[in-house]
A and B are shown apart, each in its own frame.
Chain A
Amino acid sequence: MKNHMTIEELKQMILHVAEEVIKNETLLTEIDSVIGDGDHGKGMTTGFKEVRQEVSRMKFQSTEEVLVAVGNVLIDTMGGASGVLFGTMFISGTVKRPASLTMDLQDFAEIFRYSLNAIKKRGGAQIGDKTMVDALEPAVIALEKSVAERVGFCEGMKSAATAAAVGVEYTKNVKARFGRAKYFGEKAVGCQDAGATSVWIIFRAMSDWVGEYFSRWEKYESRVITVTMNPCIDKTINVESIKRGKTHRLKRVQNNISGKGINVSIALTHFHELTLCLGFNYSADARIVEKALDDQGVRHDFVMVEGGIRTNVKIFENEYGVMTEFNENGGCVGSEEQERLMEKIENWMEQTNIIVLDGSVPEGVLPDIYEKIIRMANRRGVKTILDATGHLLRQGVNAVPYLMKPNVSEFCDTYGIDPTDRDAILRKAAEIVETGVKYVCISLGQEGAYLLNREKLLYAKAVPVNIRGIQGAGDSMVAGFCLAINRGLPMEEMFAYGMAAAAGSLQYPGTEICSKEDLERLIPEVKIVQL
């Protein structure tokens, strides 16, 4: 169940709020003409037209920035009491909060509670004074109640809108104590307050948008499908250094379920992005893989294959910061199982935005499998990310994936290029982009990464972190890309998400993956240059 909003979603919601306020100008004017001076509708429309213009063209680094921008525009352009008070509604609760990439119901409750207090302090109004407070306070209380009762995001927003509507009705029954309406005394009873009506329109618009968007979103059972053909157990051993022929006392051994696609899904789950793992699992060890994924809240739908899962032994030498790997070959997978996997992929494809094809394939699978899947995805308009090597990569690229992300040695091995010849690498990458592949990313390990499309070539240095384990970094990078693509972010931000996610994983030993907090913290650290 989706329970938070991203920056882009918040922005879209605000634009919907602006449209709704503008649409209701006549209603607000009519209400205000009875007991006010009739300028409320015009004031709100003026302000929210500016909001629509400014917010749609601004770029935001955090959800807080979106709301602060709305408040600033209202304060700067509306005038009247409403300009200050509705500006306060968006600014006061937001300015002192730390920047975050998402907002949940509790964030909304906290923000509007703080803003409500600021509005009451600034305007001096309380419940029963026939002002916007009469709608805002019940809405805030409803949000807080929803948080306490752990109801879903949409339901919480809906109850806030309902409470605001009740508040508007309530303003009909009371006399005004502020603004021009106070001069109408008893004659104002029976008329609703325009400010309260605007609060209700805002909350209703937020609730409607969230309700519609989230239900559409929920239908996307998974926004990213990852395919893991060759899962494994990673046994990571940390030693000071390997002394050939000697016995080593192991300080630390870590077992992780791994497989490049699985890693991407785990990272995406950390980032609160809905994802589904497809691929092959081995009947003898099936529960090991499934339990590990269940424990982490990662959904999966594997095709079962006879036999046991392979184990990869990875020895990390602390003294040199170097990893030596011993990777087992997977068991053979027959054509029947392969067909079943293709069928699953095809079925799930209806409900996803991106398919990640990551890593090697077991014996029995032909190197054109990624190519087939990419062609299938392209026909349905589903984006594909390809991270592989050799024939898998070369043939996959023939089908024109959306993004390919090999590391530099995989890329050079595949195309027979000297890994030290940067010009040759970039020439080849540019050639691939010309064939229709939207993005080519080549990661250079500690030297950073390139990302290019037809228009430009970007380079980013690796974000300096304390490196404790390098597995999973490339997969985290792919997860970062997926997140940015699903958020509709431009190329530079997509690159930053990928680089930050990779850096976030490097600081953990074993295959442990970047967390959401790591990602949010590291994104601003990524320095991108256009070459």
Chain B
Amino acid sequence: MRGFINHAETAVEEMVNGYLRVYPGRFVKVKGKNQRLNGFIRQNCQDKVSVITGGGAGNEPWSMGFVGDGLADGTVAGAVFTAPPARYIVNVTQALPVKKGALYICGNHAGDVLNFELAGELAQLENIETRCIKVSDDISGLMGERKEERRGQAGVAFVIKIAGAASEAGYSLAETARVAQKANERVTTFGVTVSSGYIPGSGELVHRMEEGQVEYGKGFNGENGVLVEQNRSADEIVETMMSYLLREAKLTSLDEVVVMINAYGMTSIMEQCIISRKVVDILSSQSVQIHHIVMDRLFQPLSGGCSISILRLDEELKRLYDMPACSPMIKCWQN
């Protein structure tokens, strides 16, 4: 797929340059050795716990779109589908106010975890306190696998939302990490893929899907899913997704939830609304108390498909969730 490509090697830098030029005065670039782009941070960060996220590019707005008010304070720019080097993470950390420490939020993928953990050790040498939340919301891939071995997906949006609110409310590093971890433990995501996936910025094929093929729980890099079907209607697909999700989420009638219907890059808004209609129908029929619904694009691989996330709230999470937050790319939590 051709798409819009200059050079695959410079795609990430061109993307960040474009974003920052459209919104001047809101972000500050962090450069490392040889003037290489390491990431960017919010302009005029307050003296609070800094929330830092990052990962491989290619699923935007995650992670760069999450730098904003009440969200993350900085993002570390990895190459496409590649975790950023630990040195980049440290450089972004040192560009932020860190007297009160820094909270790292990354997806639970081997590369991200290794680099963020190493960055934490390197930051410690600079007397910077850090904690790391490894988001593991995706129930697909290895069903029933222990929570800490699952990978991170769109649910990372909720974890960043909660952590950003907590840090802005003046929580300490330990407290911010505690609520972020609580959000991670209470969020579950399940996705479906309905067309071939590509690498944005290079147009290369990541995985090929047959026409009409529906694969549940497929990884963005082509990792096998848990179930493959052919030619299903939108409602049938959503029913299958919700049955997996509600089984894993273990909701009780007392639970209040936030639901996110996240469309992938090659799924239209029309389709997204059709999906959302069915999601809300199913939740209502099960008498789930819905606190808020997000119908947005927060984590978009370049393929057809969508993911559904459910965050179980408690009083503390609800209060933090309701605080306003926004970035140029993320408007769903604006007041």
Contact = CB atoms under 8 A, between A and B. Distances in A.
Interface stretch (B16-24, B76-84, B169-177): B76-84
Q: Which one of B32, B33, B80, B85 has the highest number of Cβ atoms from chain A below 10 Å of its Cβ?
A: B85
Contact of B85 (A42, A79, A184): A79
A194 B195 CA distance: 27
A50 to B, nearest CB: 9
Given A79-B82, A81-B83, A185 B224 contact: yes
Interface in A72-98: 75-85
Nearest to A77: B85
A37 interface: yes
B44 interface: no
B110 A178 contact: yes
Interface residues of A, number: 28
B40 to A, nearest CB: 17
A259 interface: no
Contacts of B110: 81, 123, 178-179
B115 A184 contact: no
A43 B82 contact: yes
Contacts of A185: 224
Contacts of B141: 183
A187 interface: yes
B224 A80 contact: no
Interface in B28-59: 32-33, 56
A180 interface: yes
Nearest to B8: A42
A442 B225 CA distance: 77
B221 A83 contact: no
B280 interface: no
A259 B307 CA distance: 85
Contacts of B118: 75, 84, 122
Interface string A349-372: 000000000000000000000000
Contacts of B32: 76
B111 A80 contact: yes
B62 interface: no
B182 interface: no
Nearest to A181: B223
B88 interface: yes
A110 interface: no
Nearest to B89: A79
Contacts, number: 82
A159 B111 CA distance: 31
Contacts of B79: 39, 42-43, 46, 79
B178 interface: no
Interface centre among A38, A123, A179, A183 (most CB of B within 10 A): A183
Nearest to A178: B110
Contacts of B83: 79-81, 83
A76 B221 contact: no
A84 B86 contact: yes
A180 B224 contact: no
Contact of A184 (B78, B82, B88, B223): B223
A83 B115 contact: yes
> At the interface, is chain A mostly helix, strand, loop or mixed?
helix
Contacts of B109: 180
Interface in A169-191: 178-180, 182-185, 187
Contact of B87 (A43, A75, A179): A75
A187 B223 CA distance: 11
A76 B33 CA distance: 9
Nearest to A179: B110
Given A183-B141, A183-B224, A84 B114 contact: yes
Contacts of A79: 56, 78-79, 82-85, 88, 111, 115
B98 to A, nearest CB: 20
B219 interface: yes
Interface string A454-494: 00000000000000000000000000000000000000000
A82 B110 CA distance: 9
Interface in B85-135: 85-88, 109-111, 114-115, 117-118
Contacts of B82: 39, 42-43, 79-80
A254 to B, nearest CB: 52
Contacts of A42: 79, 82
B274 interface: no
Nearest to A124: B110
B277 to A, nearest CB: 31
Contacts of B88: 79
Contacts of A38: 221
Nearest to B149: A182
B34 to A, nearest CB: 9
A53 B206 CA distance: 31
A310 to B, nearest CB: 63
Nearest to A36: B221
B109 to A, nearest CB: 8
A123 B113 CA distance: 9
B142 interface: yes
Contacts of A179: 110-111
B86 A83 contact: yes
B114 A180 contact: no
Interface string A17-42: 00000000000000000001111001
B301 to A, nearest CB: 12
Interface in A57-73: none
Given A75-B118, A123-B114, A178-B110, A83 B224 contact: no
A180 B223 contact: yes
A39 B202 CA distance: 13
B115 A84 contact: yes
B221 A180 contact: yes
Nearest to B33: A76
Nearest to B217: A183
A77 B32 CA distance: 10
A179 B114 CA distance: 11
Contacts of A43: 79, 82
A180 B115 contact: no
A75 B224 contact: no
B31 to A, nearest CB: 13
Contacts of B224: 183-185, 187
Contacts of B84: 79
B255 to A, nearest CB: 30
Contacts of A180: 109, 219, 221, 223
A39 B206 CA distance: 11
Interface in A345-397: none
A81 B81 contact: no
A78 to B, nearest CB: 6
Nearest to B122: A75
A78 B114 contact: no
A75 B219 contact: no
B55 to A, nearest CB: 10
Interface in B213-230: 219, 221-224
Nearest to A74: B85
Given A37-B81, A75-B87, A183 B219 contact: yes
26 contacts: A36-B221, A37-B206, A37-B222, A39-B80, A39-B82, A43-B82, A75-B86, A75-B87, A76-B32, A76-B33, A76-B87, A79-B84, A80-B78, A80-B111, A81-B114, A83-B85, A83-B86, A83-B115, A84-B86, A84-B118, A180-B219, A180-B221, A180-B223, A183-B223, A184-B224, A187-B224
Interface of A: 36-39, 42-43, 46, 75-85, 122-123, 178-180, 182-185, 187
